[in-house]
């Protein structure tokens, strides 16, 4: 399958994650902002926000929203808020708040001192609700949630008025106050907007504004036992913060008339809502409910399992923030939903690491070779190039000796056609060392190859033959005596299907999980320079891919390597084509 290069190569600093200077592509949202600035709307200000609900870890779809919103604020010299939409007390936890702050900062979302919580506006929201009650625009309703649904109608049929719609203003003021004071049980009453039960947009058929819930809130404690509904709260939050462009995903397009109704009824500041298509990524799921289920039920090792599409998962896998920004720039911002192939994201990090990651050698599945004509006890320090694309990266010394490890896959006793690696009687080049030739194999009683005996050509130090003879294959190796053992983890897609949700009736997306998504190699052999690899460093293991030193599981002198991405696109193996 053909590889598509990602746009704008980013400059990588291995230890920090700079805001590299990608020039963002324009998009329809930026065009609207340009027009607003030109017409003097919002007095030339641009103020965006990212409003997560703290009920899970952020994923790559959220990254798109953060990068879009904070990038606009940065480029238009405006402001960007991080605002927790913490209006639902039962699902929220401090762990999520902390992880979200870390992820937004890591992605370069600069909210300065504007770390905000919607729960801080509860009093203002309550006062505004009371204002609508007093204007006769909201009423207390005693229908249960089920009954309310029954009265709501359908897109083709109007709803029916609630029997409580005609309550007097005095009665509503009294009941709403008593709801707030905790006099009624959970679910017994709601406060509803008095709009139109026959409205063609179902969102405007007297939507609930408040529900009764005797629950402790992570910031407000037990102060409140009425909690605002999302649709009531959301527009108010943007209004309070004087957000100019309230950017959200397309599912909210038909909620916009309701937000407008509330703001108009109150006569308060009006942001402009703009909707863009949410990001869907192939071979994974981006629903918080499903991600939570994968974590809670132990299908993955946690929110930051490197197979997860969470920002913390990508970070632990070795992705950089700049590669995620490059990916978002590459895919752009559209109005229509689609599924982006995961290899587009993989290309973004591959491009970056190809330019910047130092090359090293490691053998994942070792086969011992002995060079019979190499003096026993001799160790030569070979000069290996750190990055062929970057002369300034220089060279390093790699010890060479009589006994080495190579990959099992690089040896075939009976070679297939065009096998240019090691096979009896054929010369092969050891990267940065010598040309060697397999002379014989040693097997155990069961017939398994235990070692390969070779000879080397001493005139080929560095890997080139002075007589110019062509050697087609080059393989990597490590000196057995000097090798450093390390744990290495290889990852594959979490789901084998492009769209894991594409299942037959009665089946579950989890049936599409890839049983081979994680392969752990307990004892790989690495060149000795890797003994001092520090958590957070990145390398290219020659011919094997790009690897990241796991920040949690590595110990001094004992790095654990996570494969970030393979050297080439390996997606040909996995289902690619859109279904049906």
Which positions are catalytic? 53, 278, 288
b/e burial code for range 297-314 (CB count within 10 A of at least 16 → b):
eebbeebbbbbbbbbbbb
Q: For residue 239, what is the enclosing H or E element? A: helix 230-240
CA proximity to 136, closest of 173, 105, 99: 173
Residue 61 within binding range of ligand ATP, rule CB under 6 A: yes
Stretch that binds ligand ATP, among 52-60, 420-428, 514-522, 557-565 (CB under 6 A): 52-60
CA dihedral 117, 118, 120, 124 (to 10 degrees): 160
- State in angstroms the smallest separation of the CB of 409 from ligand ATP: 38
Residue 231 within binding range of ligand ATP, rule CB under 6 A: no
Question: Encoding tokens for residue 420?
Answer: 């240019």
- Among residues 328 and 432, whose Cβ is nearest to ligand ATP? 328
- Among residues 82 and 382, whose Cβ is nearest to ligand ATP? 82
Residue 500 within binding range of ligand ATP, rule CB under 6 A: no
- Among residues 277 and 465, whose Cβ is nearest to ligand ATP? 277
CA proximity to 141, closest of 208, 199, 203: 208
Name residues contacting ligand ATP, limited to 286-325 (CB under 6 A). 286, 288
Q: For residue 327, what is the enclosing H or E element? A: helix 321-331
- The alpha carbon of residue 414 and the mean position of all alpha carbons in its chain are separated, in whole angstroms, by 44
Query: Applying CB under 6 A, which of residues 27, 55, 220, 566 lies at the interface with ligand ATP?
Result: 55
- State in angstroms the smallest separation of the CB of 83 from ligand ATP: 10
> How many Å apart are CA 341 and CA 577, to the nearest integer?
10
Query: Applying CB under 6 A, which of residues 249, 272, 426, 455 lies at the interface with ligand ATP?
Result: 249
CA proximity to 108, closest of 152, 75, 149: 75
Residue 218 within binding range of ligand ATP, rule CB under 6 A: no
Residue 256 within binding range of ligand ATP, rule CB under 6 A: no
> How many Å apart are CA 132 and CA 138, to the nearest integer?
6
Query: Applying CB under 6 A, which of residues 33, 248, 285, 483 lies at the interface with ligand ATP?
Result: 248
Residue 350 within binding range of ligand ATP, rule CB under 6 A: no
Q: Phi first, then psi: give them for residue 579, nearest 5 degrees.
A: -70, 150
- State in angstroms the smallest separation of the CB of 424 from ligand ATP: 54
Name residues contacting ligand ATP, limited to 73-102 (CB under 6 A). none
Question: Encoding tokens for residue 362?
Answer: 């490691």
CA proximity to 7, closest of 356, 357, 352, 338: 352
- State in angstroms the smallest separation of the CB of 310 from ligand ATP: 12
Query: Applying CB under 6 A, which of residues 52, 78, 159, 358 lies at the interface with ligand ATP?
Result: 52
Stretch that binds ligand ATP, among 46-54, 440-448, 557-565, 566-574 (CB under 6 A): 46-54
Measured between alpha carbons, how far is residue 547 from residues 349, 443, 539 in Å?
11, 33, 5
> How many Å apart are CA 160 and CA 150, to the nearest integer?
9
- The alpha carbon of residue 278 and the mean position of all alpha carbons in its chain are separated, in whole angstroms, by 14
- Among residues 125 and 279, whose Cβ is nearest to ligand ATP? 279
Residue 65 within binding range of ligand ATP, rule CB under 6 A: yes
- Among residues 304 and 542, whose Cβ is nearest to ligand ATP? 304
Helix, strand, coil percent values for the chain (each to nearest 5): 30, 25, 45
- Among residues 68 and 357, whose Cβ is nearest to ligand ATP? 68
Name residues contacting ligand ATP, limited to 453-472 (CB under 6 A). none
Query: Applying CB under 6 A, which of residues 12, 33, 42, 64 lies at the interface with ligand ATP?
Result: 64
Helices assigned H by DSSP within 241-320: 256-266, 288-296, 311-317
Stretch that binds ligand ATP, among 50-58, 212-220, 378-386, 492-500 (CB under 6 A): 50-58
Query: Applying CB under 6 A, which of residues 30, 47, 62, 255 lies at the interface with ligand ATP?
Result: 62
Stretch that binds ligand ATP, among 51-59, 339-347, 391-399, 523-531 (CB under 6 A): 51-59
Strands 138-141 and 190-193: antiparallel
Stretch that binds ligand ATP, among 166-174, 199-207, 278-286, 327-335 (CB under 6 A): 278-286
> How many Å apart are CA 186 and CA 212, to the nearest integer?
5
Strands 115-117 and 79-84: parallel
Residue 332 within binding range of ligand ATP, rule CB under 6 A: no
Stretch that binds ligand ATP, among 31-39, 49-57, 129-137, 295-303 (CB under 6 A): 49-57
Residue 279 within binding range of ligand ATP, rule CB under 6 A: yes
The tally of CA atoms less than 13 A away on the side-chain side of residue 194 is 22
- State in angstroms the smallest separation of the CB of 278 from ligand ATP: 3
- State in angstroms the smallest separation of the CB of 103 from ligand ATP: 12
Residue of closest CB approach to ligand ATP: 61
> How many Å apart are CA 538 and CA 546, to the nearest integer?
7
- Among residues 8 and 61, whose Cβ is nearest to ligand ATP? 61
- Among residues 53 and 457, whose Cβ is nearest to ligand ATP? 53
> How many Å apart are CA 4 and CA 349, to the nearest integer?
13
CA dihedral 132, 134, 138, 142 (to 10 degrees): 140
Measured between alpha carbons, how far is residue 102 from residues 58, 82, 311 in Å?
10, 11, 10
CA proximity to 571, closest of 418, 355, 347: 347
Number of residues binding to ligand ATP, judged by CB under 6 A:
14
Query: Applying CB under 6 A, which of residues 36, 46, 48, 51 lies at the interface with ligand ATP?
Result: 51
- Among residues 55 and 514, whose Cβ is nearest to ligand ATP? 55
Q: For residue 371, what is the enclosing H or E element? A: strand 366-371
Stretch that binds ligand ATP, among 54-62, 165-173, 473-481, 551-559 (CB under 6 A): 54-62
Question: Where along the sequence are the contacts to ligand ATP (CB under 6 A)?
Answer: 51-53, 55, 61-62, 64-65, 248-249, 278-279, 286, 288
């Amino acid at each position: 399958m053909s590889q598509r290069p990602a746009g704008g190569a980013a400059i990588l600093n291995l230890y920090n994650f700079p805001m590299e200077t990608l020039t963002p592509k324009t998009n329809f949202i930026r065009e609207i902002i340009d027009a607003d600035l030109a017409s003097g709307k919002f007095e030339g200000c641009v103020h965006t926000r990212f409003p997560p609900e703290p009920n899970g870890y952020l994923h790559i779809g959220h990254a798109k929203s953060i990068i879009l919103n904070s990038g606009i604020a940065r480029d238009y010299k405006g402001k960007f808020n991080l605002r927790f939409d913490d209006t639902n007390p039962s699902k929220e936890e401090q762990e999520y708040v902390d992880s979200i702050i870390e992820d937004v900062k890591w992605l370069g979302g600069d909210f300065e001192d504007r770390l905000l919580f919607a729960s801080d506006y509860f009093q203002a929201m309550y006062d505004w609700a009371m204002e609508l009650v007093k204007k006769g625009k909201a009423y207390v309703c005693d229908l249960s949630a089920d009954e309310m649904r029954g009265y709501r109608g359908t897109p083709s049929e109007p709803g029916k008025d609630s029997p409580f719609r005609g309550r007097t203003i005095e009665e509503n003021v009294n009941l709403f106050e008593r709801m707030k004071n905790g006099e009624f049980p959970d679910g017994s009453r709601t406060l509803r907007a008095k709009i139109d039960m026959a409205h063609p947009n179902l969102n405007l058929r007297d939507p609930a504004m408040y529900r009764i819930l005797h629950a402790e809130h992570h910031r407000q404690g037990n102060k409140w036992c009425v909690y605002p509904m999302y649709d009531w709260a959301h527009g108010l939050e943007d209004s309070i913060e004087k957000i100019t462009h309230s950017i959200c995903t397309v599912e909210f397009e038909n909620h916009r008339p309701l937000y407008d109704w509330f703001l108009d009824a109150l006569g308060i500041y009006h942001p402009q809502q703009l909707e863009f298509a949410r990001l869907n990524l192939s071979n994974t799921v981006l629903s918080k409910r499903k991600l939570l289920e994968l974590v809670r039920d132990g299908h993955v090792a946690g929110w930051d399992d490197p197979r997860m599409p969470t920002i913390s998962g990508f970070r632990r896998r070795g992705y950089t923030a700049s590669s995620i920004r490059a990916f978002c720039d590459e895919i752009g911002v559209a109005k229509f939903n689609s599924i982006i192939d995961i290899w587009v994201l993989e290309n973004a990090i591959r491009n970056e690491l190809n330019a910047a990651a130092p090359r090293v050698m490691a053998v994942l599945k070792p086969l011992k070779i002995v060079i019979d004509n190499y003096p026993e006890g001799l160790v030569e320090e070979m000069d290996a190039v750190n990055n062929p694309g970057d002369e300034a990266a220089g060279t390093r010394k790699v010890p060479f000796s009589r006994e080495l490890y190579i990959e099992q896959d690089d040896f075939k006793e009976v070679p297939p056609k065009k096998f240019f690696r090691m096979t009896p009687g054929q010369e092969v080049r050891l990267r940065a060392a010598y040309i060697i030739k397999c002379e014989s194999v040693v097997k155990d009683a069961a017939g398994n190859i235990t070692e390969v005996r070779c000879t080397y050509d001493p005139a080929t130090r560095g890997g080139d033959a002075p007589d110019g003879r062509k050697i087609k294959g080059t393989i990597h190796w490590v000196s057995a005596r000097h090798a450093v053992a390390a744990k290495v983890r290889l990852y594959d897609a979490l789901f084998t299907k492009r769209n894991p949700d594409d299942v037959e009736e009665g089946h579950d997306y989890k049936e599409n999980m890839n049983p081979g998504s994680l392969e752990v190699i307990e004892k790989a052999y690495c060149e000795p320079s890797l003994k001092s690899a520090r958590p957070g460093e990145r390398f290219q293991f020659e011919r094997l891919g790009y690897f990241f030193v796991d920040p949690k599981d590595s110990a001094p002198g004992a790095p654990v390597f996570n494969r970030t991405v393979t050297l080439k696109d390996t997606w040909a193996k996995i289902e690619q084509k859109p279904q049906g």
